[in-house]
């Protein structure tokens, strides 16, 4: 089995699609070697493998198909007609399990520090992310666990779990649903459970960068120092990614701001800022700064909790 390209002059070429970029289709032909073909001259394209494709600032992962002179992109069990000339870029999808009919991508960043001698320190930082894309929607789940011990005394013990869903009703506008569980017992935050609903806007989404923002109303259930509280809030979220060096390097920033309506409670900001560099198709080096800020934290707790981590990330 092989990929195939049919040109506007009727010629047909078999081989393997390398990529689509810079308005050219890069193709390893069985008889002629590496070819560069102007996208304007490609009539149909068919592939065996899954590709990450950018069309009209939207990212999709699918297989190129063709029939009766019409090009299609198959994403799971969904098929949509496309124009090859409208494809901004395409590259082989990097995923361990290609047989799954799901556009599911996950990653796990780990940072571990152990030291002994005059003092003993143990630090564990793990960030897990999973994203499932559908035809008009996106599911995203994140998990952050951060612990630190110095001389067997716990100085940090934080858990942050989030789930978000986007339902697009236009190319750029979407409805959003978010839930979050947060716990930091050392700051007397026994738990904070947040449920938010609102609307979001995809500012841009290209092969090199993506930015989205959303605003919604929230219900916040907290147990602070053993006391239960329930308050409405306003939530503002930002998600930004920028790729460099042919997508080997990535800069990212994610933020969630809660403006809690209860008098004296103030704002709660959580964010992750960092850089990743691909060491291989599956492994990254990851540098990240995680911020938790509260304008009016529980009595005895600091407003700012900032953690830096340097470790490795695994993509699958």
- Work out the average pLDDT over 228-234: 90
- Work out the average pLDDT over 260-279: 88
Strand partners, 104: 132
Print burial letters for 261-294: b (CB count within 10 Å at least 16), e (below 16): eeeebeebbbbbebebebeeeeebebebebebbb
The domains found in the chain, sorted by start residue, are: 3-92 (no CATH), 103-315 (2.40.160.40)
User: Is the pLDDT reported for residue 96 higher than 60?
Assistant: no
Q: Are 132 and 104 in contact (CB under 8 A)?
A: yes
3-state secondary structure at position 47: coil
Strand partners, 157: 147
- Work out the average pLDDT over 219-242: 90
Which of 44-53, 119-128, 180-189, 215-224 shows the lowest per-residue confidence on average (mean pLDDT)?
A: 119-128
User: Is the pLDDT reported for residue 105 higher than 50?
Assistant: yes
Q: Whole-angstrom Cα distance, residue 290 to residue 276?
A: 14
Q: Whole-angstrom Cα distance, residue 217 to residue 13?
A: 55
pLDDT tens-place string over residues 275-296: 999 888 788 898 898 888 988 8
3-state secondary structure at position 221: strand
Q: Whole-angstrom Cα distance, residue 295 to residue 172?
A: 33
Q: Which two tokens stand for residue 20?
A: 């689509």
Q: What are phi and psi of 15, to 5 degrees?
A: 160, -130
Full-model pTM: 0.69
Strand partners, 217: 197, 234
- Which of the four pLDDT bands, split at 50, 70 and 90, describes residue 99? very low
3-state secondary structure at position 95: coil
Mean pLDDT of the chain: 86
H or E segment to which residue 87 belongs:
strand 87-92
- What's the angle, vertex CA 52, arms to CA 105 and CA 12, rounded to 5? 145
pLDDT tens-place string over residues 186-214: 778 888 999 999 999 989 877 678 899 99
């Amino acid at each position: 089995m092989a990929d195939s390209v049919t040109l506007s002059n009727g010629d047909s070429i078999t081989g393997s699609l390398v990529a689509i970029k810079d308005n050219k289709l890069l193709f390893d032909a069985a008889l002629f070697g590496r070819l560069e073909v102007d996208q304007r001259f490609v009539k149909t394209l068919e592939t065996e493998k899954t590709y990450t494709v950018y069309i009209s600032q939207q990212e999709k992962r699918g297989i190129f198909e063709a029939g009766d002179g019409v090009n299609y992109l198959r994403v799971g069990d969904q098929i949509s007609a496309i124009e090859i000339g409208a494809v901004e870029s395409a590259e082989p999808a990097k995923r361990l399990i290609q047989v799954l009919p799901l556009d599911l991508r996950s990653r796990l960043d780990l940072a571990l520090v152990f030291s002994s001698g005059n003092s003993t320190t143990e630090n564990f930082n793990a960030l897990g992310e999973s994203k499932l894309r559908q035809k008009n929607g996106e599911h995203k789940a994140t998990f952050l666990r951060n612990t630190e011990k110095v001389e067997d005394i716990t100085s940090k013990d934080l858990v942050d779990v989030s789930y978000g869903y986007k339902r697009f009703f236009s190319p750029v506008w979407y409805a959003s649903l978010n839930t979050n569980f947060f716990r930091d017992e050392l700051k007397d935050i026994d738990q904070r459970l947040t449920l938010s609903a609102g609307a979001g806007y995809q500012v841009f989404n290209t092969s090199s960068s993506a930015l989205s923002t959303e605003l919604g109303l929230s219900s916040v259930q907290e147990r602070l120092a053993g006391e239960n509280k329930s308050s409405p809030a306003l939530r503002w979220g930002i998600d930004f990614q920028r790729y460099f060096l042919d997508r080997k390097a990535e800069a990212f920033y994610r933020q969630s701001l809660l403006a809690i309506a209860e008098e004296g409670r103030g704002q709660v900001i959580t964010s992750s800022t960092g850089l990743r560099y691909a060491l291989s198709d599956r492994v990254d080096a990851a540098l990240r700064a995680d911020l938790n800020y509260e304008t009016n934290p529980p009595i005895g707790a600091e407003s700012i909790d900032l953690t830096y981590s340097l470790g490795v990330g695994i993509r699958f």
